[in-house]
A and B are shown apart, each in its own frame.
Chain A
Amino acid sequence: MVENRPFLTFLTHAFLILGFAVVALPVYVAIIASTHDIATLMSGPVPLWPGSHLIENYSMILTSASAANGLPNYSHMALNSLIMAVVITIGKISISILSAFAIVYFRFPFRQLAFWIIFVTLMLPVEVRIMPTYKIVADLGMLNSWAGLTIPLIASATATFLFRQFFMTIPDEMLEAARVDGAGPMKFFRDILLPLSRTNIGALCVILFIYGWVQYLWPLLVTTDPGYYTLMMGMKRMVTVQDGVIQWQLVMAGSVLAMLPPILIVIFMQRLFIRGLTETEK
């Protein structure tokens, strides 16, 4: 701080606290709703304060509610979400760091083309190309498999791009020193690039884990075996009730729990996460 201005500081705090209150409102309401019974939720605006059904609702969602909705156990779905998020994270990082290495440290015909092919996919959303993509996954016999669930989501222009940007900032002297020592490309990659990229990899892990955790439409389409249900699919199924009534208190309890892992990761790995978002994307 350059100088001390108590009033401005007070305003700053007030603004940030207000900002937090507004940002937190939807989640606060979800938490409140998860502590009431359905009759209370259905009879007018949601109360502002917690009710007395917290333990009941949360133990229901963790035990019997899943079966009552024809879902696998909550813990089973959580495990599936975890597997999916982890596989996607590892897959994306592995293939992206390799291709970024190729693009930055080699000159070869069609390099430009390869880069553009990867880059153009940056934001082709699943909704837009879902039918043909499904057909390919089916033709390859990858329906109902972890491969089908994860591999089509592994291609990532973003991660490739982030690594590329980072490699560009590594001084050329490193490479020259390595060449003087007679190190080949893969040795350079293993002994120099990988260790240097540690922070970037960590940062990407946070971001990509969240990406994998929140997938919904793709797993719904390519799996027919409830054994592959993820939390997002489970929550959505509980909301999609035909001609019936949505058990909002349970949906909210389930959503709150499903939100927790990525939020906790963001909070506890904040430094890495911020670095991942900001420093590499420039």
Chain B
Amino acid sequence: MFKKLTLAAAALALSATTSLAATEITWWHAMGGELGKKLEEIATKFNESQSEYKVVPVYKGSYPETLTAAIAAFRANQQPAIVQVFEVGTGTMMAAKGAVYPVYKLMKDEGESFDPKSFLAPVVGYYSDTQGNILSLPFNSSTPILYYNKDVFKKAGLDPEVAPKTWKDVEDYSKKIVSSGAAKCGFTSAWITWVQTENLSALHDQPFGTLENGFGGLKTQFTFNGPVQVKHWANLKKWQDEGLFKYGGPVGGDNAATMFYAQECAMTMNSSAGRAGVINNAKTFTPGFAPLPYYDDVTKEPKNSIIGGATLWVLNGKDKATYKGVAKFFTYLSRPEVQADWHQYTGYLPITNAAYDLGKSQGYYDKNPGSDVGIKQIMRGTPSPNSKGVRFGNFTQVRTIVDEEFQALLAGKKDAKQALDSAVERGNKLLREFEAAN
């Protein structure tokens, strides 16, 4: 009896001390809906896997809302240990040297093994400094791909198993689709900025800005008003006038997905992470997945596409114990099985080679056709300075400007050259402003 009691007391004391000692690690994120639920599941599993640290995920609204909240909190000395920042915020975070604890340094300080080579090169390249040090932990990365409606293709007399490879194909297919009445429009696109401007430049090895697209420093200038970009925007305008292309709206272009689901448009270009949504919503038709089209008169071998999505940044000003926990959590997050689970559930890219290999050995990509289109697209060829990614300050506003100029183009107020020239000129002003403030 006595023995039992002491045991119970000891157990009680033990559980009390462990629960008391658990260091809380706050993680602010922007994953709403189902993705947020999955993210919280990851945190719970980590918490259950050990007892020293407790990761507390907190949803803070959209990406911009999360970033602003984190910055406001930093200024008030109430910052979270980890914050999820979208790719256009990368320039802002990198410039904030006093606020950020670079991930490579954190992992080294805490003695966690961390090998940049274990990550997919194009993903990690986007978030490294010029010396190749990883500044933030890639978490949810995606890249744009082409989605198409196989049933509409069939109706229009096209082979549903053959996706358009070049922009010429897209134009020809769209003409057939519209003239046969199979759908009202040929194609639409989410993210005019990210897909039809930034990725277009990368695919065709065209510089988006000087100094390696901004990787080389704050003195960078935009150059996305080159001949290829001008030609593409002019084409989009022409295709819109011919009824082949429909605009999906500014920023993320929410209407693009809707038009695709409603079978109004036969093709759309969107983040590879939209795959799960496409499968869930394409109930009355079969979707197909393919790489982004390119201009074969510009290049025969399109470069890799660039990524989007978000990474996890560690903020300064926390105690040693917290950082120890963050490092442990990052190691956990980078585990192949955790990564593969997240990647396969959400449609984001696998971040590590091991997670990709795990998926392969599980036969995941064979069972789910199209799920590796994005991965293959970012892994193809050798990245050039133009396809490594983009890194600019004030980039949220620059994207707004690009959206505005594109709208002016479609509304017939400017031609493609004027619109892009104006976007570059206005964007450069913001770059100088950013340079002056940092």
Contact = CB atoms under 8 A, between A and B. Distances in A.
- Let me know if chains A and B touch directly in the complex, using CB atoms closer than 8 Å: yes
A138 B73 contact: yes
A246 B35 CA distance: 12
A196 to B, nearest CB: 44
A59 interface: no
A39 B283 contact: yes
Nearest to B254: A246
A245 B61 contact: no
A44 B258 CA distance: 9
Contacts of B72: 130-131, 134-135, 221
Nearest to A70: B36
Interface string B347-363: 11000000000000000
Interface string B37-64: 1011000000000000000001111110
Given A135-B75, A138-B77, A220-B60, A240 B284 contact: no
A134 B281 contact: no
A66 to B, nearest CB: 10
B33 interface: yes
A158 interface: no
Given A135-B76, A220-B60, A224-B58, A243 B34 contact: no
Nearest to B308: A243
Given A69-B32, A69-B33, A70-B59, A38 B65 contact: no
Contact of A225 (B58, B262, B346): B58
B277 A244 contact: yes
Given A68-B37, A138-B73, A240 B32 contact: yes
Nearest to B274: A243
A42 B281 contact: yes
Interface stretch (B23-31, B88-96, B201-209): B23-31
A165 B133 CA distance: 66
A226 interface: yes
Contact of B37 (A70, A143, A246): A70
B58 A245 contact: no
Given A43-B261, A69-B37, A131 B61 contact: no
Interface string A116-132: 00000000000000110
B339 interface: no
Contact of B63 (A38, A239, A242, A247): A242
Given A38-B281, A224-B26, A243 B58 contact: no
A238 interface: yes
A242 B274 contact: no
A267 interface: no
A48 B385 CA distance: 53
Chain A facing B: main interface SS: helix
B263 interface: yes
Contact of B76 (A138, A226, A240, A245): A138
A244 B33 contact: yes
B78 A236 contact: no
Interface in B82-133: none
Given A69-B37, A70-B37, A237-B32, A143 B281 contact: no
Contacts of A44: 262
B280 interface: yes
Given A131-B75, A138-B73, A138-B76, A246 B33 contact: yes
B257 interface: yes
B180 to A, nearest CB: 20
Interface in A225-243: 225-226, 236-243
B31 A242 contact: yes
A244 B35 contact: yes
A234 to B, nearest CB: 10
A237 B40 CA distance: 15
Contact of B35 (A135, A226, A241, A247): A241
B36 A245 contact: no
Contacts of A39: 281, 283-284
A240 B62 contact: yes
Interface of B: 26, 28, 30-37, 39-40, 58-63, 65, 69, 72-73, 75-78, 80, 142, 257-258, 261-263, 271, 273-274, 276-277, 280-281, 283-284, 309, 346-348
18 contacts: A42-B258, A42-B261, A44-B262, A67-B37, A70-B59, A131-B75, A135-B72, A224-B26, A224-B58, A224-B80, A236-B61, A237-B33, A240-B30, A242-B30, A242-B63, A243-B273, A243-B347, A246-B33
Closest 5 CB pairs of A and B: A138-B76, A243-B273, A241-B33, A70-B36, A245-B277
Given A43-B261, A246-B33, 8 more contacts: A38-B281, A42-B258, A69-B32, A138-B78, A240-B61, A241-B32, A243-B346, A244-B274
Interface of A: 38-39, 42-44, 67-70, 130-131, 134-135, 138-139, 143, 220-221, 224-226, 236-247
